Amino acid sequence: MKLTLDQRAAVESLDQNCVVSAGAGSGKTRVLVERYLRILEREREVVNPFPCVLAITFTDKAAAEMKDRIRQGIRKRAERQQGSRSDLEPPWSEWLVQVEGAQVMTFHAFCAALLREFPVEADVDPQFAVADEQECGEWLTQVVEEGLTRALEKKNTALESLLLAWGFHGAVTGLERLYGQMVALGWSAEELADRTHTHLQEMTSTREREEQKHRLQFRVAAEALVSLKGGKLLQRFQQAWPNLVARLHSQDHRERLWVAQTSLSLLKGNWGRDSTLLQWREQARTAVQSWAMVLKGMIAAPQEVELAAIVSDLLRDVEKAYQQRKSERQALDFDDLQMRAIRLLQEHTPVAETLRRRIRYVMVDEFQDTNPVQKELFQLLLPGPAGEQVPGKGFVVGDPKQSIYRFRGADVGLFAQTREEFLAVGGSEVLLLDNFRSGKGVIAAIDRLFTPLFSDYRHARSYHEDGEDAPVEVLLDRGEEKTDPLEAEANAVSKRIEALLQQGTQPGEIAVLFQAMTHVKVFAEALTKLAIPFHVVKGRGFFQQQEVWDLIHILRLLADPEDRLSLVGCLRSPLCGVSDETLYRLSRREEWYRQPQHWAAWIEDLPYEQLKLSRFVADWNRWRRWVGRIPVADLLERIIRETELREIWATTPHGKQAIANVNKLVRMARQWGEGMTYSLSAWLERLQGTLARQIPETEAPLAPSEQNRVALMTIHQSKGLEFPVVFVPELAKKPQVKWGEMQLDRQWGLVMKIPDAVGGWEETDRWVQWRERETERAREESVRLFYVAATRAIRKLILSGAPQEHKGAATGKPLLSADTWAKWLDGILGYDRIDWERGRWTFPGEEDGPTLTVRTFTGEAESEGDVKKKSARMSNSLSTPIDTAWRWWEPRGWTAVDRLEVSVTDLTVLANCPRRYFFAEILQMPEWEGETKFGSHSSTGPLAPRVRGELIHRLLETMDDIPQSDADWMPTVQRLLAESEIHPANHERALRQFQPLVRAYVQSRYCQEMHTMAGQLREAPFTLERDGLRVTGTIDRLHCTRDGHWELVDWKTNDVEADEVEELAQEYLPQLQLYSLAIRQVWGIELDRAVLYFLKPNREIAFTVDHRWMNAAEETLTRWTDRLQGEDSSSFPPQPGKRCQYCPYAAWCDAVQMS
């Protein structure tokens, strides 16, 4: 195919700098290759023209592909010459030999070559090694820990408050992150300190102006409220106003803050419906919120300055020690390569002149993904030897709409900056708008969809007609069944894929692209049910795979025979494969884990289980003798071979991937040499370092012959790829943005929260301004991510998810004020405009324009049997086999990804004892109850607490009127007992347990005043998404009291005495915090009070919900997210205490003896 006119313009722009804005599928790689070949033609008089051209790509794979295409282009031209070359023609045949020396490489590879060429000037060892990420992480952690330890010896109060809030481990992680951001920006610690100090000084004057402005705005609105007539809340504000206005202009910032916070509290609640009153109230609230935030910043300013200095000093220490550590090992990291190359060109003019004279053309691909350091390096290469402008030397290609690597430091603004710089010196811009990838229908829909999302979107031109009747589809959840919406969506996507396969589409032609891999397992399970072949591209992470952990467990057990967690992991893995019943019976024996020689004798009535244990113990003893005598890799290989693990995994649905991962672990054991070849303890120590730093390690790739499978991958992984059919699920997923406590900003330097007096964090006005700006930028990148996903499709694009209303659209708010792709669809197309009967969705005012085909899905309600399976506990029958052989060969427990979707109950367990959570949810150990409870036909004994709680909650949910006697609610209880399959013989005893609890509720204010409470929500389900964590739960009661305060009430049915209530309430505090966050996020309500109502002692514990409460809730949720992203049991330490005596996992927990 010939070059288009636009492509030809880019290729032939050899005499002027050129920036190419290349849309998706526009053939930019071809343009780069053709321009490279055109340069060779121009330089045909040069014996070896390759050194004069530098082509930069962002990955080694892209560099290899580009060099191969250049080689092919040279070969074709050489074949056309066939020995009849004239003197005026380029020597293509000779160049075919020389092409291996072409400088087509990444920024890092170019910098490494430059430093090796000029080692003396660069002050590096010519034999320097490029340290890998693992080594750099270990060195950096060591120097940060050492630096913190030294700093703590100085007894600095401010540093101690920082560590109280951060924790030592959090401080190490935080400083490592800040150091990484600092070097990515190309700064030294000194430059960071200067930038931060300058901006903090600017903030002082800014705050004074803002404080006066917001104070005046508040006074104007407040005085307007004082002049109006209204209800009790307005009257309360009017009564307080004289005292407030008297302190309004106090010279004491803290007193003014008291005025602001008191006013804000008075402005809460339900103020009626008078529009004038509500308008002034809203203006007062907005002004006083801004005023209070500025005042907090003014008060925190001295502490902020002090902390910034402390952090800068720590980073100086880290910078010096880390550089020394690398110097001792004659190693450079990737950041060193770039920074030293820049310094070399800046400080050594002869080197710069030599390089600029040699390199006459610089081409950079994917320029939208460059960071400031790479941009600076590019700028240093552009001039001529004497620093003069060289027209045509600079050539960059990219697409700002596809800039999605901001988390790596990429700055999309650098593309526009470079374009302006080129145009200012007579350069040109070429737009590549022809799309050679997608069909006309796909392109038309994408153009119409993204025009309102981008400020400068240019429509593409298609070179292909559609081969599809419905090139763009939307699968929408009608939400008509009560089931997990995510499972329903995954099932719908899988069924649609099944239909496509039946129509002739090959599995390898289909890709499912995720914003993040958080819920990929749900979709994988749905595909497995339909026997659809698939593979997760670099999915879930290598160190989250069950087969990998099985081998890590046995290695840890060999290194420490008393590692009980690893022992349990081995016993439940294919290495042994005993049942939960066997494991439970072993654990009943005192110090069972130290007596493996007796295990078989303890279960004589289970001969098959005896055989499993005997074989495992024999294997274990034999493997222990090999430790230290043979390399770790050989030890692993022997274990795998003797237990036939590869054969076992081969029988599973994803066995080929599992085998590839097992082989990769063996290869890693061989590669991690240097003192670790024979030392198992050293090898495990390095592994622990890798896990602790969460260094990404992808799964082993499958062979090409295994690639005809549906690909499940992130959108980032799909960049540069294309697929005939693309699914983009989870339209309703909120972007995962995690700010932490400190960050670096390109203009402001260090921005931070401030540690408070109780070990938490306070936001300052400076932090809030930064966060709001970054949130806007993150949302803009979310648009670009959506665009990248959509433009991977060749024939068919299928979007799926739950419809969400863009609530701001009706009031004129910007489209991007909403935070999910589903809401953007509503703002652009409008869900109310769907023709559900015909399954058509057209764009407003364009009936003849692109049409989206709409298919709907609903979740299938779970069968009664499925519900029983999910809620079953193993306490009913120990003699019944509960596992099958197949169960042991499947991945068990939650991986680091799966853990991100949890219930409120799970998180409450996590908060009170992380180790119990680890046993229950990650290892999925059976929960053994000491006393048999009745909750089914066959059980006897007292009503199980879980069943009692469920029934009480269902009863209270149905009470719409105040009962006058027990007879008013007894029939409902009897119906609920029957529905719960509790035997009629047990009903009377159950009623006796119910009676005091229900009577307590009936006499409470929650029942007696129910008709005076507005906005009631009962048993309201919710999903809270934050930083990748998806939390599900149910709000017992939410209402607005007569005095205008929003109140959350959580019923508790615990069998607890009055003097135990306060202690127990602290264990439920994290649960209330989660509910508070969910209420704000889902319903937009700011709570005033959260209450735990214990029905048995008829006592309530109330907590005031204010900004401190909500900040503490945010911090708690962040800690949980970090813990759930941990790789192993070290992220889930035990919390011994009184609860241990009731814990169903006491037999397996080392901490029980401590408590």
Task: Tell me the three state secondary structure of residue 212.
Answer: helix
Residue-range domains of the chain with CATH: 5-130+334-432 (3.40.50.300), 132-328 (no CATH), 461-529+707-738+765-836 (3.40.50.300), 542-697 (1.10.486.10), 866-1154 (3.90.320.10)
Helices (H), 503-606: 520-529, 546-559, 564-571, 580-587, 599-602
**What pLDDT, on the 0 to 100 scale, is given for residue 863?**
39
Calpha distance 458→222 (Å, rounded): 49
Q: Is the dihedral of CA 715, 719, 721, 726 positive or negative?
A: positive
Determine the Cα–Cα distance for residues 371 and 414; give it in Å rounded to an integer: 8
pTM attached to this predicted model: 0.78
The arithmetic mean of pLDDT across residues 788-808, rounded, is 94
394 annotated ligand-binding residue: no
* Segment 300-331, tens digit of pLDDT: 999 999 999 999 999 999 999 999 999 988 89
pLDDT in tens, 715-765: 999 998 999 999 999 999 988 777 889 999 999 999 999 988 777 788 899
Cα(352)–Cα(366) distance, integer angstroms:
25
User: Which residue type occupies 829?
Assistant: L
Name the average pLDDT for the chain.
85
Tens digit of each residue's pLDDT (9 = 90 or more) over 875-919: 232 232 323 333 333 333 333 333 456 788 888 888 888 888 877
- At 435, list the tokens: 């799309």
List the strands of the sheet with 510-514, edge to edge.
534-536, 710-714, 510-514, 723-728, 793-801, 472-477, 851-857, 840-842
Q: Which two three-digit tokens encode residue 752?
A: 């931070």
Q: How far apart are CA 821 and CA 420, in angstroms?
A: 32
The 3-state secondary structure of 218-258, one letter per residue: HHHHHHHHHCCCCCHHHHHHHHHHHHHHHHCCCCCHHHHHH
Token pair 């001969």: residue: 607
The maximal CA–CA distance of the chain, rounded, in angstroms, is 110
Q: What is the pLDDT of residue 701?
A: 60
How would residue 407 be classed by pLDDT, with cut points 50, 70 and 90?
confident
Tell me which amino acid residue 139 is.
Answer: W
- Residue 260 Ramachandran class (φ > 0 left, ψ -120 to 50 alpha, else beta): alpha
Q: What is the mean predicted confidence (pLDDT) over 756-775?
A: 88
Taking residue 802's Cβ as centre, other Cβ atoms within 10 Å add up to 18
pLDDT digits (tens, 9 = 90+) for 1022-1046: 888 766 677 888 898 998 887 788 8
Residue 28 annotated as part of some ligand binding site: yes
**Angle (deg, nearest 10), helices 580-587 and 607-626:** 70
Spatial distance between the Cα atoms of 696 and 817, rounded to a whole number of angstroms: 33
- Residue 940: pLDDT band by 50, 70, 90 thresholds? very low
Q: How far apart are the C-alpha atoms of 180 and 856, rounded to whole Å?
A: 46
pLDDT band at 955 (very low <50, low <70, confident <90, very high): confident
Distances (CA, A) of 227 to 106, 264, 340, 896: 69, 18, 68, 58
pLDDT tens string 78-96: 888 876 767 778 888 889 8
137 pLDDT above the threshold of 90: no
Return d(Cα 191, Cα 422) in angstroms, integer.
Answer: 29
1118: which residues sit within 8 A by CB, 6+ positions away? 738, 1027
In three-state secondary structure terms, 1128 is coil
Predicted local distance difference test score (pLDDT) of residue 541? 64
- Give me 541's structure tokens: 């992470």
Is the Cβ–Cβ distance between 660 and 666 less than 8 Å? no
Residue 117's Cα: distance from chain center in Å? 41
Q: Is 664 annotated as a binding residue?
A: no
pLDDT score at 1090: 94
Task: Please write the tens of the pLDDT for every residue from 512-558.
Answer: 999 988 888 899 989 989 989 988 886 556 777 788 888 999 999 99
C-alpha–C-alpha distance, residues 44 and 345, integer Å: 29
What is 812-866 written as a DSSP string? Answer: T--GGGS-SHHHHHHHHT-GGG-BTTTTEEE-TT-TTS-EEEEEEE-PPPPPHHH
Check pLDDT > 90 for residue 26. yes
- Dist. CA 488–CA 729, nearest whole Å: 12
- Strand pairing category for 1029-1040 and 1014-1026: antiparallel
Q: How far is CA 569 from CA 578, 580, 657, 793, in A?
A: 11, 12, 21, 43
pLDDT over 70 (residue 239): yes
Pairing of strands 103-106, 53-57: parallel
Give the residues across from 317 on adjacent strands: none
Task: Report how far residue 782's alpha carbon sits from residue 799's, in angstroms, rounded to the nearest whole number.
Answer: 16
Mean pLDDT of 415-421: 96
Q: Identify the residue with better confidence: 739 or 381.
A: 381
3-state helix, strand, coil in the chain (%, to 5): 55, 10, 30
The reply, when asked if residue 22 is annotated as ligand binding, is yes
Query: How are strands ordered across the β-sheet holding 53-57?
Result: 103-106, 53-57, 361-364, 394-398, 18-22, 428-432
Residue 436 confidence class, pLDDT cut points 50, 70, 90: very high
Tell me: pLDDT of 985 over 80. no
> What's residue 708's pLDDT?
86
Q: What is the DSSP letter of 4?
A: P
User: Is residue 8 scored above 70 in pLDDT?
Assistant: yes
DSSP secondary structure code for residue 900 in this structure = G
Q: What is the mean pLDDT of residues 30-51?
A: 93
427 annotated among ligand-binding-site residues: no
Neighbours of 912 (CB within 10 A): 18
d(CA 442, CA 434): 14
Q: Does 23 appear as a known binding residue? A: yes
Tokens representing 646 are 């590869």
In the predicted structure, residue 933 carries a pLDDT above the cut 60: no
Q: Which residues pair with 946 in a beta bridge?
A: none
